[in-house]
Structure 1
Amino acid sequence: MTWEIILMFVVLLTTILLFVFEVFPIDKIAFFIIISLILLGLVTPEEGISGFSNSATIAVLALMILAIAMEENGVIHWLTSGMGKVKSLPLAVMAPIFMFVSACISAFISTTAVVIVFIKIVNQLSEKFNVPQSKLLLPISFAGILGGSCTLMGTSTNLIVNSVSSNLGAERLGFFEFTWLGLTFLGISMVYLTICLKWLPREKQKNLNENYHIEEYFTHVKINAESALVGKKIKDGFLYNNPDVSLLKLIRKNRVHNAPGKYITLKAGDELVLVCDLENLSRINQSENLDICDKDKVDVYYQTAVTSTDEDQDQVHAETEEFELNNRVFVELLMLPGAILLGKTLGELRYFMLQDATPIAIKKRKTLTHFKERMIRNSTDKLLLKAGDRLLVEVSKEKMLAFESMENVVMLQEFDEVEQPSKFKKYFSLAVLVAVVGMAASGLFSIMVSALTGVGVLLLTKNLDLEKVYKKVNWQIFFLLAGMIPLGVAMHNTGADMWISEQLLGLLSGQSKYVIIGVLFFITMFMSGGISNNATAIIMTPIAMAVAQGMDLDYTPFILTVLFASNFSFFTPVGYQTNTLIYSVGNYKFKHFFIIGGILSLILWLTATFLLTNML
């Protein structure tokens, strides 16, 4: 083993550990990979940045933009609009319908975008018709992953495997070349998941108050005559610019003022509704001379939206905005990778977010280092908001729609009122998508050229807004691909892929082809459960090809082994992005993925091993 191979393994092991323990965001890890490979001399500077110009990276970016257009112009919603009509069907019939539709759309549109739409649909069905969302979201996510595995443009993983393998000398895969395999896996999985519905949790749908215990966040206090706050403007007291306390309402003479301005002068007898934890409440009560009111009154005041002109309006500064006239509501936000709010604590969010929106609590998703779902209400908590977490925000209805402009943030509320696009935009966008698929499938153009052409047509006809594209594109995936591709180049440059393949061949010497394909599939599938499926594909594709070369066998079955195995990480909630999203929303436990998803992975492993080996 040479020093170059040892250095390569050090970088590779470090990369895997960073991914598994989520030490840094994936895009930051990708940059570290590029820098490390260049400085260690494992790749040239040109090879180090080659991922940014790689055809697969550009194709993935173009397909993400197309997915955004399909969502913005109502295509995905239109394709799933009939889902509400199945609400009266038995669950054993409803679930396969949802799975089939999810898989069909995911074969041509980003699986993540499709599952996000289904999360909203299922959330509404659960709220209105008591349809158990925990019985549907996991099958929908799994079916979306399987559907994306049916075509070359279904997932970024497929494009990456095709790009890496072709760069190493293999023939490019056809658009529908492996569709029959994907459909076989999908059919088996739909039957299995339908049988497993009885073991999925059937929790009663909780409203936001029950889910977050909203009433525990609010404190109702009264200002005593001896309090230092008397005669002070809000901006001059502890209520202003305090990350640990948020003032939601000012109650004066039985009149409720929502989001009072900072120039309002406080009086003795004023009652305040605060967002505050017990520790800070105790401190404030002692230092500010406040009385804690009957907690039952908080709900009464909070649910009342009475606003009127106050006799103190002459004291209000000219810059003070008028009091909010509309009811205020709670909004639950789901954080996607690349969201602008990621990396901030609850206290920091209260400074960062739009005016008149108060972050109340964070519900952390479970990770390998945090197995239990945590509720964070203390703004001094050092835990950061991450992808898959949910954020509860209190905001006026008028300003609720401003969340639509936030990058990679999804409103999970049923009152998500998005302006409906015109029928022309919807049908034209769908026609463009069909044309892109047709050009790529026929071989007229590559997927990259076809997708870029589709984006160009949408831009030319003003059916795509670049401002929204900049905000909604998952740039983390783009930079992850750009950073990981040089890692595959470095493995080939140093001979690390050949060294690993030689060890595998030595270990599997004399074994049947079934064992060799089975071991390769299992190793790849196991890796994808802990790190990104794209990262797994980039690492394992050169190794699989080296094994095929060492055995003097056809590359294709080995390439498809990596392609499918990288996607089939059903046994953990962190292996695939959609599983991460539904983990928290569906109130699943780790065991649901480990047992139900694990058995599915084993079934597909055995099936794929048999089918792929017979292709040799």
Structure 2
Amino acid sequence: MNTWEAWLTIAVACGLLAGLALRIAANELVALTCLAVLVVAQELTGTALLPSPADAIAGFGNAAVITIALLFAVVTGLELTGGTHLATGWLLGGAKSLRGAQVRTLFPVTVVSGFLNNTPVVAALLPVMDDLAKRIGVSSSRLYLPLSYAAILGGMCTVMGTSTNLIVRTMYFEESGKVLGFFEPACVGIPASLAGLIYILIASPKLLPERKPAISVSDDPQQYTVEMLIEPNGPLVGKTIEEAGLRHLSGLYIAEIQRADGTIAAAKPSETLRADDSLILVGALDTVVDLRKIRGLLSPDDQARKLQVPAWRRTLVEAVVSPRCSLLGKTIREGRFRSHFGAAAVAIARGGRRLQGKIGDVRLEVGDILLLEASPSFLHRQRESRDFYLISAVEKGSVRRHERAWVSVTIMAVMVLIAASGVLSILTAALLAAVATVAFRCCTTGEARRSVDWSLLIVIGSAIGIGSAMTTSGAAKGLAGGLLGLVGEGPSSPFLALAAVYLATMICTEFITNNAAAILMFGIGVNAAKTLGVSETPFVIAVMIAASASFVTPFGYQTNLMVYGLGGYRVSDYLRFGFPLSLIVMVISLLVIPLVWPLNVRQAF
């Protein structure tokens, strides 16, 4: 790496890694900024070692990016018709125990995730898992994280199972002209999935604690923080906390009292309540809901009454903030939450932490769980806007076209059969399925358009441009040479290089998005293979599998982040439960890949 272009590209790639890992701004803004640096540098210098503006933005028209966008529409049709529930409900209905529920859930989810993008699959099944957990009497934390892991494992088995596989497959075709078969990743994915599922079934009762309200609410990792006001001239004014009956609330306690004059009072049993006092309470969902029945307590600023919806028509909705929420980083008050969404925030929960201060002063983060009071139309509006993942049982109300459930399932099945048989390309099959989904009224064109995760597509398109610069500038070749220098020379060098590429990719994907990790590591893996004079295919498969094998943190894979707050998990739960699974997948991958795609066979292109 003797050129400034290579060093600039490495600096930009490191900036992308750091920006995504530290979450210094929205992912799409970080990715576009990094890409802009390279485009500006090429325009100003005219160097041929950096991609031209046209080449840099070519990633946005990549076939895999377009395919991913089309698949969002197909999955939306499944969600809005209840096709997912139709396909799984008959199987889950017979579950009587935790083990039975996991067996009936994890294996089908693994199979389905091989043919559909696993993120919307998990999103569609969250309310189903919640209902199932309540029916068999276990904490939903026993099902949510295994559900995410099963979806990730299933996504490894085909080139359509996850956006990462589609991207790597397309990049490999552009690099070598070789097409990876639809089921080619299954040679590694199936044994890794089977071993992973067995591990989950055996280990989850021991390594995955039940995250649910305990006798002491302070021990509950999913604590809702709720703010209630003492009604002026109400029955609680002048009474002590003890006299008001607020001391021994089941599963709930008063954390502090904020006076109207700005002072804070300790929540002692003998403390007298005053008009307009703000009570900051912490507790479990059921008890938080019961607070609304106590006379003399009002929601903050009486936001619910300002909804202009009769009380009898309002409903409570549990919703988790998505990465696309327009109010991320803003407080509930700054963002004018009620006016913006037509809903009043009643309470908020964030992992295992108790939030400080008033509800209106909390800055929203991805994964926050909100308890909202809203009109029934809120579910419909927010299903389309994608600001939230709606997770309460009432989410079923958003299913509006039950009579077309079989149509959506048939469209999905036909799409998979066409793509798997090779009659048409995956892009063409997805295009036809998206058109059929709208034509047969499984969803409208507006719903299909709004279902697309533009943030994800922008990150992928930008990362492809940066990955192209890694190759054209010689940075990928230089990094591959450095990697090979670490593993040394000898008969075992190809295998050690393969292991190093796998491990580096796996580590990267735990801290940044899986797609960005795959794109950046793809060039390094291919160049390592070229330098050694061996086949690139094993390295491509290693990057593909390792980029998806994100089990150790909540942040490396979107499904892990989705269930983080919902299950009341802590980061330590992912490390304790997911690290052995990462090792299992890595060992199986490094054993199987050289057997199926021999390292010493150099393919001619």
Compute the TM-score of the two structures, normalised by the length of structure 2: 0.82
Q: Distance in 1 between matches of 2:387 and 2:277?
A: 40
Pair 1:373-2:353 in alignment: yes
Separation in structure 1 between the aligned mates of residue 179 and residue 520 of structure 2, nearest angstrom: 18
Q: Which residue of 2 aligns with 1:456?
A: 435
Which of 137-146 and 77-86 deviates more?
A: 77-86
C-alpha separation between the residues in 2 aligned to 1:63 and 1:294? 47
| 2:123 corresponding residue in structure 1 | 116
Matches within 5 A, 1:356-395: 357-365=343-351, 373-375=353-355, 378-379=358-359, 381=361, 384-395=363-374
Match of 1:342 in 2: 328
- The question of whether the paired residues in 2 share the 8 Å contact of 1:68 and 1:473 is answered with no
**Helix, strand or coil at the partner of 2:232:** strand
1:535 aligns to 2:513 (yes or no):
no
SS for the counterpart of 1:394 is strand
Q: Number of residues paired by the alignment?
A: 544
Q: Does 1:291 align with 2:275?
A: yes
What CA distance in whole angstroms lies between the structure 1 residues aligned with 2:28 and 2:225? 38
- Structure 2 CA distance for aligned equivalents of residues 121 and 417 of structure 1: 9
Partner of 1:416: 395
- Kindly tell me: are residues 490 and 515 of structure 1, through their superposed partners in 2, closer, same or farther at Cα, counting changes over 3 Å? same
Q: Tell me whether 1:218 sits opposite 2:228 in the alignment.
A: yes
1:132 aligns with 139
Offset at residue 516 of structure 1 (A): 2.2
The alpha-carbon distance between structure 1 residues 412 and 420, as it changes in their structure 2 partners (threshold 3 A), is closer
The offset of 1:45, in angstroms, is 0.9
Match in the other structure for 2:552: 571
- Show the counterpart of 1:302: 292
Counterpart-to-counterpart distance in 1, 2:80 and 2:278: 47
The amino acid of 2:444's aligned partner reads D
What is the CA distance between 1:154 and its match in structure 2? 0.6
- Aligned pair in 2 of structure 1 residues 215, 190: CA closer, same or farther (>3 Å)? closer
The 2-side partners of 1:499 and 1:457 are apart by 47
The alignment-based identity, stated in percent, is 26
Structure 2 equivalent of residue 203 of structure 1: 211
Q: What secondary structure sits across from 1:391 in the alignment?
A: strand
1:69 alignment partner in structure 2:
77
Give the counterpart letter for 1:291 in structure 2: A
Residue 64 of structure 2 aligns to a residue in which SS?
Answer: helix
TM-score calculated relative to the size of structure 1: 0.81
Matched with 2:302 is: none
Find the aligned partners of 1:164 and 1:519 in 2 and give their Cα distance: 21
Segments of structure 2 that go 5 or more residues without pairing to the other structure are 43-49, 238-253, 266-272, 282-287, 297-305, 599-605
Deviations 1:451-499 (A, max 9, x none): 1111122223333312122333211111111111101110111011111
- Tell me the distance in 2 between the aligned counterparts of 1:3 and 1:293: 62
Deviation, 1:71, is 1.2
TM superposition shift of 1:446: 1.4
Whether contact under 8 Å (1:87, 1:131) holds in the other structure is no
Partner AA of 2:581 in structure 1: L
Partner of 2:11: 10
Quick one: structure 1 residues 394 and 549, their matched pair in 2 at CA, closer, same or farther if it must change by over 3 Å? same
Aligned 1:140-151 pairs, distance under 5 A? 140-151=147-158
Pair 213,535 (structure 1): closer, same or farther in 2 beyond 3 Å: closer
> Is residue 157 from structure 1 mapped to residue 164 from structure 2 by the alignment?
yes
More displaced 10-residue stretch of structure 1: 333-342 or 184-193:
333-342
Deviates more, 1:161-170 or 1:522-531: 161-170
**Which residue identity does 2:187 align to in structure 1?**
W
Equivalent of 2:201, from 190, 194, 201? 194
Distance 1:495 1:398 in 2: 54
2:574 & 2:36 partners in 1: Cα distance?
35
* Compared CA separation, residues 321 and 37, structure 1 to 2 (3 A): closer
Q: Check 1:612–1:57 CA distance in 2 against 1; reply closer, same or farther (3 A cut).
A: same
Does the 8 Å contact 1:573/1:579 carry over to 2?
A: yes
Q: 1:361, 1:375 within 8 Å by CA — same for their partners in 2?
A: no
Query: What amino acid is aligned across from residue 479 of structure 1 in structure 2?
Result: I
Question: Structure 1 stretch 445-454 or stretch 323-332: which is displaced more?
Answer: 323-332
Partner of 2:64: 56
Task: Evaluate the alpha carbon distance shift between residue 398 and residue 35 of structure 1 in structure 2; reply closer, same or farther with a 3 A threshold.
Answer: closer
2:241 aligned residue: none
Q: State the structure with more CA Rg.
A: 1
What is the aligned partner in structure 2 of residue 240 from structure 1?
Answer: none
Q: Which piece of structure 1 moves more, 70-79 or 461-470? A: 461-470
* Equivalent residue letter for 2:41: L
SS in 2 for 1:281: coil
Local SS of the residue matching 2:389:
strand
